[in-house]
Amino acid sequence: MGIIERKEREKEQRRKDIILAAEKVFHSKGFDRSTMDDVAEEAELSKGTLYLYFKSKVEIHWAITEKGLSLLSDRMTETISSDRTGIENLFELGDVFYRFSEEQPVYFNSILFFEGKDLEKLEFGDIIMENWFKGSPIEKLYEVVEAGMKDGTVRDDLPVSTMANTLWAQMLGVLQVIRNKREVFEMLNITPGELIRCHYELLMNGIKTKGFVS
């Protein structure tokens, strides 16, 4: 390995180390209460060195979100099966999304953060805006919704893009409410699983073709 290649490898490893350090800081202190100084300290770097890799806390947060989106997308890809119908795959993907929100709170919270922001105002640029969709979980939803329309299990009177983005937004909203109101639901003797299952049923009944029995 040449000197240039070695330096690039070291640079990429340091970038990964910074992201891991930021994940720990954001998880323990919360994004709003965390600072670049906190991240630099956790990564055992000077603040000046940290800024060579990331210009702001939001930029680091986006890098964490990209990891989360990639992880969720991979899980969705592993779950999608050609042996199931489109509507059945959508049902399975909902379960994947729920488990992800429970098992990966840092990544899930990062996704929620950016879903609630105007990306253009954050001045990320066109490339990052495009990457928000390319290879993302939403793109996977596009594929499964379209497959369901083709196999006749998903209604085809709505655009694929509209249906996929609506499913994504609804799942995010329900999962966020479950996370924020967990104590309230416990008082009502309602489990997160029951809420998700009810949400699934309502969603699937709304998008499946008439006469299809899952």
Name the pLDDT band for 79 (thresholds 50, 70, 90): very high
Least confident of 81-90, 139-148, 165-174: 165-174
**Is 121 in the same domain as 27?**
no
Residue 116 resides in a domain:
yes
Total domains in the chain come to 2
**Amino acid, res. 123:** E
Report the C-alpha gap between 88 and 148 in whole angstroms.
9
Q: What CATH number corresponds to the domain at position 11? A: 1.10.10.60
Both 99 and 70 in a single domain? Answer: yes
- The whole-number pLDDT of residue 214 equals 53
Based on the domain organization, do 124 and 169 belong to the same domain?
yes
Q: Tens of pLDDT along 181-203? A: 888 888 889 888 888 888 888 88
Range among 121-130, 146-155, 178-187, 188-197 rated most confident: 146-155
pTM of the model: 0.83
DSSP state of 85: -
- Specify the range with the lowest mean pLDDT, choosing from 6-10, 41-45, 138-142: 6-10
Residues 202, 94, 196, 63, CA torsion sign: negative
Contact 58, 122 (CB under 8 A): yes
Residue 213 falls inside a structural domain: no
Over 70: is that where the pLDDT of 159 sits?
Answer: yes
Residue type for position 125: G
Regarding whether 1 and 102 lie in a shared domain, the answer is no
CA distance 49 to 15: 11
Q: How far apart are CA 86 and CA 41, in angstroms?
A: 48
Q: Are 35 and 53 spatial neighbours (Cβ–Cβ below 8 Å)?
A: no
Does residue 94 sit in the same domain as residue 4?
A: no
Whether residues 90 and 44 share a domain: the answer is no
Task: Give strand pairing partners of 208.
Answer: 154
Start-end of H helices in 56-157: 57-79, 86-103, 105-115, 126-131, 137-151
